Amino acid sequence: MSFAHFSMHPMLFDALSAQGFTDPTPIQDEAVPPALAGHDLLGLARTGTGKTLAFVLPMLHRLLTSPADGVRALVVAPTRELAVQISSDIQQMIRKTDLSCVTVFGGVGLHAQCQQLKGDVDIIVACPGRLLDLVRRGAVTLSAVRMLVLDEADMMLDMGFIDDIKQILELTGRREQTLLFSATMPHELEIMATDAMRNPLHIQVDSIAPVETVTHAIYPVAQHLKTPLLKSILRSLNFQSLIVFVRTRHGAKRLWRQLSNSGFDVTCLQGKLTQRRRQEAINGFRRGKYSILVATDIAARGLDISCVSHVINYDFPPTVDTYIHRIGRTGRASATGSAFTFATAEDSPMMKTLERALGDDLRQCYVDDFDYNAQQRSIAAKPAKLKKQPRPQRFRQKGTVLGAEQAPPRNRPARQAVPGSPQAKAKIISKPVEKKGAALEVLDLRPASRTALKQPHTPRKLQKLKIDQKKFQEADDNQP
């Protein structure tokens, strides 16, 4: 089936043709027709299956066929990167229409977003925290929202947004349609969906399993040999673009610096970065400026980056679902990909769980010409840091000064009185004149600063005085 079988607005067909979309994916084929009919949907599909277009097409069809004022469609996403990507997809579809879309997320200033919301806005793509902040400030109202979309809902629950989502559901109580898309269905999410949706249709195109076009490999290695093994693999591997997943932000930053110092074209993506640096990292990796992306699990969901040929799990994923989401960055759109996972002795329980989930698809590999028996460098082998010598203390205790016989000798000369200072003795430059009939002694009571010795002329001034004196003498000699 092609998109032509959908009963949509003609402008949407033109936008799909301009982007090269001809046939819908399974989730789009199952979700778009009932969503166009106005039903609430609960869609389950693994990452990279085209869920974004499955709710964008019905949403734009509703807005184009029933024009009105105010914010009529709201899309809520868990991360900034996913919100920016959804907004970019919507902008591509509404380029030749009169609809407008605004993206709202944290990590940037409020003023610019408030100014954007003052105009005629039809669609808002937002992260939960910043959206509620703007609502409290009165910058936006959600009473006119008729269609609500919750994308990657299970991830929002994992990130602690359950209370924010419930508040958003209350603020959009007048909505007519609710679409919820997720990769997994936890029990808490199922209860919330039952309360917030009206007779939703459950759509699950396939089981939550790894992509069939991706090969899986486990590399057993000691903890201190992970970085040398990664460098050895990167030097021998023929790849176009590669993502390395690390568990913590500190670990991602440290590994990024180590690879960058070794000469690799690498960038870093983790939650501690500012929005500008995060966007620069994504754009640089997407455009080919960087061939390696070291990232935490914020890059494991929702990001659509094509041509990722390999995914390396530097740290073992904590759950099978996390593993599936990570390797979903490769093998997208039926392309082939490879997933490598480093496993230490502490990861053996989780590795057995992953083996039961994947079966025979998981194999163990070793790198030739790599020393797996290398010992970790001990602290004694590391170069010692030079300690700064403390300055000699002149005070033995607080408030007690060392005696003169205990004080260290001072090499500088004794302080001398400077002419003109109060310590200098004043020199009398005038003598009192004795008057006839007066026997009193007259004293000069002018202050010392007025009676002090004058400072000698500078060499430059003396030279000028000599020149002037010479001119005067020549003028006197020339007189008749």
- In tens, the pLDDT along 177-224 reads 999 988 778 888 888 888 889 888 988 876 555 667 788 899 999 999
pLDDT of residue 404: 47
Are 41 and 201 within 8 A, CB to CB? yes
**To the nearest whole percent, how much of the chain has pLDDT over 90?**
34
pLDDT at residue 234 is higher than 80: yes
Are 179 and 41 within 8 A, CB to CB? yes
**DSSP state for residue 385 in the 8-state scheme:** P
Model pLDDT for residues 30-83, shown as the tens digit of each residue = 999 999 999 999 988 776 678 889 999 999 999 999 888 889 999 999 988 889
Model pLDDT for residues 353-402, shown as the tens digit of each residue = 888 887 767 888 999 888 888 877 655 555 555 566 666 655 555 555 55
Model pLDDT for residues 323-338, shown as the tens digit of each residue = 888 887 887 656 788 8
Angle at which helix 162-171 crosses helix 187-196, to 10 degrees, equals 10
Which among 43, 39, 330 has a CA at the least distance from the CA of 208?
A: 43
Which among 86, 122, 93 has a CA at the least distance from the CA of 13?
A: 93
In the chain, what are the helix, strand and coil shares in percent, each to the nearest 5?
A: 40, 15, 45
Are 304 and 85 within 8 A, CB to CB? yes
Measured CA to CA, the distance from residue 113 to residue 133 in angstroms comes to: 11
The model's confidence at residue 104, banded by pLDDT at 50, 70 and 90, is: very high
**DSSP state for residue 20 in the 8-state scheme:** T
φ, ψ for residue 182 (rounded to 5)? -155, 160
Are 291 and 241 within 8 A, CB to CB? yes
348 vs 476: which has the higher pLDDT:
348
Measured CA to CA, the distance from residue 326 to residue 336 in angstroms comes to: 15
Q: 400: helix, coil or strand? A: strand
CA atoms within 13 A on the CB side of 84: 16
State the average pLDDT over residues 100-112. Answer: 90
Are 107 and 80 within 8 A, CB to CB? yes
pLDDT at residue 135 is higher than 70: yes
Are 63 and 113 within 8 A, CB to CB? no
pLDDT of residue 421: 54
The model's confidence at residue 313, banded by pLDDT at 50, 70 and 90, is: very high
What are 261's strand-pairing partners?
none
Which among 55, 84, 135 has a CA at the least distance from the CA of 302?
A: 84
Say if domain 214-364 classifies as CATH 3.40.50.300. Answer: yes
pLDDT at residue 118 is higher than 80: yes
The structure tokens listed for 383 are 């170069």
Give the contacts of 90 (CB within 8 A, at least 6 positions apart).
56, 60, 75, 101, 123, 125
Of the candidate ranges 5-19, 20-34, 231-245, 357-371, the one whose mean pLDDT is the lowest:
357-371
Q: Does the predicted model carry a pTM greater than 0.85?
A: no
pLDDT at residue 259 is higher than 70: yes
The structure tokens listed for 234 are 């990167």
Q: Please state, in angstroms and as integers, the Cα–Cα distance from residue 86 to each residue in 10, 62, 127, 304, 334, following that order.
A: 22, 18, 12, 10, 21
The mean pLDDT of the chain is: 81
Q: Where are the domains of the chain?
A: 3-204, 214-364
pLDDT of residue 446: 54
25 vs 396: which has the higher pLDDT:
25
Amino acid letter, residue 275 = Q
Say if domain 3-204 classifies as CATH 3.40.50.450. Answer: no
Measured CA to CA, the distance from residue 203 to residue 183 in angstroms comes to: 11
Which among 296, 240, 242, 233 has a CA at the least distance from the CA of 266?
A: 242
What are 44's strand-pairing partners?
182, 204
Measured CA to CA, the distance from residue 93 to residue 64 in angstroms comes to: 12
214-364 and 3-204 share a CATH fold: yes
